[in-house]
């Protein structure tokens, strides 16, 4: 499996970060677009509970990807993944369901993708969450270099999946709770009670 090396910086202002990206010569490779994903697991959720992992089918607007993702730690480089491009979002989901796995969660997000010096920078928006930026590169030094160019404080970097951002914004969320447990994570849905109670 490929090791992902990425860092997130929370609570950004999209227009301000776009201005900084343009100022340092970054190129927008994909404008903001709606993405949808299905999170798939065994009926007993053993991937999530036993391996801190999931299968994801994601419609990225220009392609559909199938990913197995597993988290070994919430540190830089703590994510492992296998990913491939597939032909069709709905058919890929149906294959897993025909094999006895279940779609546990349908989720929406919006993403804008930039590139600077071979490093990918994405602006992410998720339901009920302040926008954040994610920087991914082959090594820590490249991520730190881009973060510095964008005036991002490395001491504020966080690592892991989107749940680290949700837990930072909603401290009442327990470590054992993930948005993959919600049947729908959609922009038009009300904030779930579990986020504030």
d(CA 174, CA 197): 11
d(CA 137, CA 159): 13
**40-97: pLDDT as tens digits:** 999 998 998 888 889 999 999 889 999 998 888 777 777 788 999 999 999 999 999 9
111 in a structural domain: yes
The pLDDT of residue 95 = 97
d(CA 186, CA 12): 21
194 in a structural domain: no
| Count of structural domains, the chain | 1
123 in a structural domain: yes
Q: Which residues pair with 71 in a beta bridge?
A: 79
Question: Residue 98 is part of which domain span?
Answer: 2-189
Residue 48, CA distances (Å) to 20, 32, 72, 99, 190 in order? 37, 29, 12, 18, 25
197 in a structural domain: no
196 in a structural domain: no
* Residue-averaged pLDDT of the chain: 91
Tell me, what CATH number does 126's domain have? 2.40.320.10
Reported as type and span, the H/E element at residue 92 is helix 89-98
Q: pTM of whole model > 0.85?
A: yes
């Amino acid at each position: 499996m490929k090791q992902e090396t990425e860092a997130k910086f929370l609570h950004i202002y999209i227009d301000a970060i776009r201005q900084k990206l343009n100022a340092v010569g970054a190129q927008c490779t994909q404008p903001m677009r709606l993405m949808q994903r299905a999170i798939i697991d065994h009926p007993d959720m053993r991937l999530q509970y036993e391996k801190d992992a999931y299968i994801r089918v994601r419609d990225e607007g220009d392609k559909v990807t199938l990913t197995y993702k597993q988290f070994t730690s919430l540190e830089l480089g703590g994510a492992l993944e296998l990913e491939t491009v597939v032909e069709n979002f709905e058919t890929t989901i149906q294959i897993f369901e025909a094999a006895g796995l279940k779609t546990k969660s349908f989720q929406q997000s919006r993403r804008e993708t930039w590139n600077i010096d071979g490093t990918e920078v994405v602006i992410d928006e998720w339901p009920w969450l302040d926008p954040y930026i994610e920087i991914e590169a082959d090594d820590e030094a490249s991520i730190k270099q881009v973060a510095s160019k964008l005036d991002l404080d490395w001491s504020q970097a966080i690592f892991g999946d989107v749940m680290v951002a949700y837990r930072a914004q909603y401290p009442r969320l327990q470590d054992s709770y993930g948005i993959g447990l919600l049947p729908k994570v959609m922009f038009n849905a009300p904030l779930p009670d579990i986020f504030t109670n």
